[in-house]
Amino acid sequence: MTMASGGKDTVRFLIIDSSPGEAESFLNVFRESGYSTRASLINSLDDLTTAISGHQHWDLLLMTDPPPPLSFSQIFDYINQKDVDLPGIILTSPDGERDSLSLMKMGARAVIPLGHDEYLLAVAQKELEDLKIRRHHRRMSVALHESEKQRRLLLDDQVDAVVYVNNGRIQYVNSAFLKLLGLPEEESLDGKLFKDLIITKDQQDVEEFLIGIEESGQALAVIQCPLIAKNGSEVPTRAVISPTSFNGEFTLSLQIKFNEQEAEQTGADKTLEKSAPDSETGLFDRKQFEQELDVAIQRAVSGKGKATLCCLHIETLKAIHEQHGKEVSQKLLKALAKKVTSHLGGVHPVASMGGGNFSALFREGEEREVKLLADSLLTAVTGEDIVIDQNLLSVKLSIGAVILSDTTNDAKTLMVQSRQATVQAQKEGGNQLCFYQKRKVSSVHSVEKQLAGMVNQALKHKKFRLSYQPVISLAGSPAEYYEVSFVMTDAQGREHEAAAFRPKLEKVSLWNKLDRWQLIEASKALMAKRKEGSDTRMLMHVGGISATDDTFLPWMKVALKAAGIPAGAVAIELSEQNLARYSEVIPDFFRSLKDMGCQTVVSEFGCSLNPLEGIAHLDVDLVKLDPSFTEDLNDGDNAEELQKMIEALSQSGRKVIVPGIETAGEMTPVWQFGADFIQGSYMQPPSERMDFDFGSDG
C-alpha cells in the first residue's frame, strides 16, 4: 500500500472470483472512495503461488466462491504456510449456506454478504489500517533492534558510568559502571534491584525518589546516591536522572558521577537549572516543555500513567492589542502567565506558544479530574478583570484538551489536536473546556447526500470557477492542449477541486448539470484563446451519468456550434471506472463523439483488473494514466510498472498522457519511457487562464 499523488492510497488486490465483471465492481467500490487500485485475478493455486512468490507486496485478498478445484482451505493453508501478511475478506451470497464461523477459523478476517458495499469498504479500511500499522511495527522493530545495538556499543565505550532502571530493577549497566564498583566486565547485573547497590542508610530515600520520578514523569533530576563497591567500601556518587526507553519500555537513565568532581557537578547543576521554569513567569521554554511532553508520551505508551495536553487560548488578546497597543498586550500576557503557572502550582508545566496561546501539561489523565482542574483555572484567570497601565482589561479563555493514552505516539499531532479542541471551545462560546474528539466518519450515502447539497448550493449561488492546466506534448505536436476542470467554494469559503468529489457524484443527474455548465463556460474561454491564432484544444472530463443521457451529445453539438468551436478542438474524457460501470453504453457514446469529430479520452487509467482489455474494443485516441503511476519513480518496481504500461498502450496505437509530474526527476524517465504528453504542477499548476507559453516548453 503506497501513497499516490494527490494523497490517495494505492491498494493492491488479489481477487479470487469466477466473474471478472464482479471483480471490477469490487474495485469500483474502492475507487469511488478515493483509492487508486491495482489488481490481479487468481484462478488457480499456481496463480496464487506466482503472485505471492513475486516481489510485489499485496494488501488485500478479496474472495467469492473459488473456481474448482481451488478451495478456501487451500488458499488459507498456503498463505499461512508462506507466512504472508495478507488479510483475506470473503464475500458470500446472502442466501448462501456458508458457515461464517468456519470461514473465520480458516483464516478469513471477515465474511461479508455480496452487495453490502459500505460494509465491505468499512471492513477493508480497518484491515488496511491494521496492515499499515503491522508493517510499520515490523520496520520500526528492525530499526529499534539496530538502534539498541548501536547504543549499547556507544554506552560501553562511554567514560561515565550509566545504569538503566525500570521499576527499581536494573535493565542495563555499561562497563564504566562495573569498573566503578570494582566488578568484572563479564558480570551481569540485569534484573537485580538497584537499591541493593546503595549504602543501607540511603536505600529507602533513593528508591522512593526513583519511584516518584517514574510516577511524576519529571524530565530531569539529581540525587545523592552513594554506592557500595565490591570490596564493601563506599563510593561517593550522585545520579543525574533522565527518562529514556530501552527494549521498547519506559526506563530511567542514571548517569553516575563522583561527588568530588566539581567541574562535572557544576555542569550537572547547570543542566538541572536549565530544566527549571522561568523565575519571573513560571513558564518553561518550548524546548523544555517539549521534553516534558515527550516523557509524558513515553509514560502513557508504557502504561506508567496518563497525562493531558491542553491548549489555552486568550480570546481577548487580539482586541486588546488593537485597542491598547503591543506594550499593554505583552504585559497582559506576562500577567496571565503568572496567574496560570501560580494556579497550577508548578506541578503542571506551561509554555508560551505565541499568538496568545499557552500549552499546559496536566499530570491528570481522567476527564473528571482534568475538567475540575480546568474549571478552577478558568475561574482563577477570568474571574476578575486585570489592570494594566490603568486599563481595566477583561480576559476570555478557551481550553482545548487531549488525553495522552497508550496509542499516543506523536507530539506534533497532539499539539494540533489540542488546538482543534480549543477552536471548538471558542465556537461553543469560550470560557470553557472542550476535549478533542475524532471526527465521526459518515456513511457513504450520507457523504453523497452532503456533497450533493453542497454542490446544489454552489450552483445556486454561482460558487464554481473553472481552472485550466496545460497538457504538454513530448513529440512536438502543434496543438496546445489544456485540461479543463472546476473548483467549488463551499459556504465556509473553503475550496474543493472537482476531482475530490466527482467520484461520489458523477453517477447522479446533478452531475449532468455541472457537465453542461462546464462545457458552456469553458467554450467561451476556448473561443477567445483560439481567436489569438493558436490551435488550442481542451480536454473536458464528463461524468458517467452524461454518457447515459441520450440528450447530452445532441445538446453538446448545438452548444459547440453556437460557440463557434470545431468539434476537433474538444476531447471528452471518461474515467476508467465508468467503462465498467456503463459498459453497455460507452462504446456507442465514444462512436458518437468520433462521428461528431471530437477526440475521446480515457482517464485515471490502469487501476482496473485488465486495463488494456477494457479499452480494446473502444475507439480511444488518448489514454491518461492514473496519477498513482508517477508515485515514487525512484522505486525500480514503480518505474517498471509505468514503463510497461506506456509501452503497451503505445503498441495499441493510443497516445499516452502521464499526469502528476511534480519534479524534473519525474519528467526524465517518463520521456524516456515514450509518453506522448505530460501534465503536472512542475510545468504549471491549474490556473484560471489559458496562459501557458507552449513555445518555451523544453
What CA–CA distance (Å, rounded) separates 476 from 697?
10
Q: Is residue 155 predicted with pLDDT exceeding 70?
A: yes
Q: Tell whether 221 and 321 lie within a shared domain.
A: no
Q: Tell whether 519 and 668 lie within a shared domain.
A: yes
Q: What is the pLDDT of residue 664?
A: 86
Q: Is residue 243 part of a domain?
A: yes
Q: Is residue 220 predicted with pLDDT exceeding 80?
A: no
Over residues 301-317, mean pLDDT: 86
45-76 pLDDT, tens digit per residue, is 999 999 988 778 899 999 998 888 888 999 99
Q: Tell whether 692 and 645 lie within a shared domain.
A: yes
- How many domains does the chain fold into? 4
What CA–CA distance (Å, rounded) separates 618 from 594?
11
432-476 pLDDT, tens digit per residue, is 999 998 765 444 555 677 788 888 888 888 899 999 999 999 988
Distances (CA, A) of 400 to 35, 284, 346, 394: 33, 19, 20, 20
- Name the helix (H) or strand (E) containing 242: strand 237-246
Band (267; pLDDT cuts 50, 70, 90): very low
Task: Take residue 390 and report the three cell numbers written for it.
Answer: 490603568
What CA–CA distance (Å, rounded) separates 687 from 485?
10
Q: Tell whether 16 and 131 lie within a shared domain.
A: yes
Q: Tell whether 548 and 616 lie within a shared domain.
A: yes
Quote the pTM value.
Answer: 0.67
104-147 pLDDT, tens digit per residue, is 999 999 999 988 998 999 999 999 999 998 888 887 777 777 77
330-373 pLDDT, tens digit per residue, is 888 888 888 899 898 878 999 999 888 999 999 888 889 999 99
Q: Position 340: which residue type?
A: V
The residues, ordered by sequence, that sit 6+ positions from 282 with a Cβ below 8 Å of its Cβ are: 337, 338, 340, 341, 342, 346, 350
What range does the domain containing 585 cover? Answer: 451-696
Q: Tell whether 509 and 424 lie within a shared domain.
A: no
> What CATH number is given to the structural domain containing 557?
3.20.20.450
Over residues 497-525, mean pLDDT: 90
426 and 315 in contact (C-beta within 8 Å)? yes
Q: Is residue 293 part of a domain?
A: no
538 and 568 in contact (C-beta within 8 Å)? no
Better pLDDT: 80 or 157: 80
Among 13-22, 61-70, 519-528, name the one with the lowest average pLDDT.
Answer: 13-22
27 and 609 in contact (C-beta within 8 Å)? yes
Distances (CA, A) of 575 to 15, 507, 514, 544, 620: 22, 12, 16, 8, 12
Better pLDDT: 596 or 153: 596
Band (378; pLDDT cuts 50, 70, 90): very high
| Full DSSP string of 122-142 | HHHHHHHHHHHHHHHHHHHHH
What CA–CA distance (Å, rounded) separates 276 from 273?
5
Positive or negative CA dihedral for 102, 106, 109, 110?
A: negative
456 and 464 in contact (C-beta within 8 Å)? no
Task: Take residue 87 and report the three cell numbers written for it.
Answer: 488479510
Q: Tell whether 335 and 378 lie within a shared domain.
A: yes
Band (8; pLDDT cuts 50, 70, 90): low
Query: Of 408, 435, 462, which closes a domain?
Result: 435
Better pLDDT: 442 or 582: 582
What CA–CA distance (Å, rounded) separates 400 from 430?
10
| Strands 9-16, 60-63: pairing kind | parallel
The residues, ordered by sequence, that sit 6+ positions from 19 with a Cβ below 8 Å of its Cβ are: 64
Q: Tell whether 423 and 479 lie within a shared domain.
A: no
Q: Tell whether 525 and 629 lie within a shared domain.
A: yes
Positive or negative CA dihedral for 632, 636, 641, 642?
A: positive
Q: Tell whether 458 and 423 lie within a shared domain.
A: no
